[in-house]
Structure 1
Amino acid sequence: MSEQNERLQTEISLLESMYPEQIQYHETAREVAYRSDEATFTLRLPAEYLASALPDVLSATRGRLDLREDLKQRIKLCEIGEEVLDSIVLAFNELVEDRAASVASEATSGEKQNRASEVIDKATIVVWLHHLLNTNKRKQALSPAAAVSGITKPGYPGVLIYSGPSKAVHEQVNDLKQLNWAAFQVRLESEEEWTFAHGVGVKEVEAMKDVVAEIGEARKEVFMEAMRMK
């Protein structure tokens, strides 16, 4: 036993010299505490340590993250009967770095998903109306949520085009759909956001050629097919 204690004292002294500000050994409790800038662990050394047992993990944390089970798994890989405290410190620091990288990766992934969601969360809806003549309906058609842009064309047939945040676009179309129409048909739904020659907001134009001028040549074919004019 004296040889075992001598080995332990030598190991602790070496560990304290390697990590002078980070290692504390409580001899009575046979506990080794390690603290870095962002993580800490506490081990209990069984009486059989350095003979037939490995250290027990009392606590291991990085911030609010509990790393006890992870550290226990690392310790199980250590050689019984050998001085392993230095190896445990190195394994713990690697574990902390791995978790930090994992958290950073998850955060980056979350940001990418949010950005992707923002891109997907756009919509363009084209509506064909039998006619759009009523003054009140024309005013309502021109007054969607502030984030929505588009085109309205009164007369026979009537045309509504709204583009912007998906929720706001669908709400505008659904609100208008509740009004009394001779015919109200959604002819096109897209997850792409369209831009218009006049910029933001909703503009009323006089004729189909004006609608095409607003949406541009790139959208002309799609619009004409939606209006069934091809």
Structure 2
Amino acid sequence: MATVDGINATKERRVKEFELLTAMYPELQWNEQRQELKYTAEGSASLLLRVPDDYPGTSHPILISAFHKDKTDLRDLTKGKIDEMGLPLDEEIIDAIIQAFEEILQMHSKNANRLEDGGIKTKNISEPKYKTVIIWLHHLLNTNKRKLASNPTSDPEQITGVTKPGYPGVLVYSGNVTAIDDHVAELKSQRWQAFQVRFEESMSTPWSFTHLPGIREVESMSEVVQEILDTKDQETFLKAVGVR
């Protein structure tokens, strides 16, 4: 039987996680009476979770519903994705569940676009070859994660960027679309307390940094800004991380 101290500690962890999540996802809504957490994405796509009293100690949030903005029921696909991740007990995992839902939304949208094209997807020769992403982490302290963040295992020569460890962790990458997507996917596969892509955009030319190529680790937000050469790109970064 759980002790009073244990129950209070679990509740405190849950409250702290909710505070972090609402800072990351302002669209989150918490219904205290029903103990349900609703996440809204892409305008009207929605994810509904029921959060038990003993989460995050001895149980997981329960997936109630998951819908695409076109009203397609994605609950089974989302549940399957969550099950594949093998999320552990006694860890805060709601952010990971939201990321799983986002991946299912993207997959569904791509499939829908293929159907609209009659099942044939033609390559646009003007399709952007480059992409820039900005990732916000609750923290980046683990040595292995820091090493992975700074050393892509796939096409490292195709990516340039900056990483900042600590609280919060920040990752900025720009380069070949496929190389960026592969690196971000590899990072997502790690266990994170919070992992949020704050900015993602395909473009005809990548961002320019003070160094090229490769990824440089720095110690502060100001140093990240200094590594980015273009003033407009600096502004984009500051807005993405909530400084401007």
Structure number with larger C-alpha Rg: 1
Q: Would you tell me which structure has more helix in proportion to its own residues?
A: 1
What is the TM-score when the length of structure 1 is the normalising length?
A: 0.48
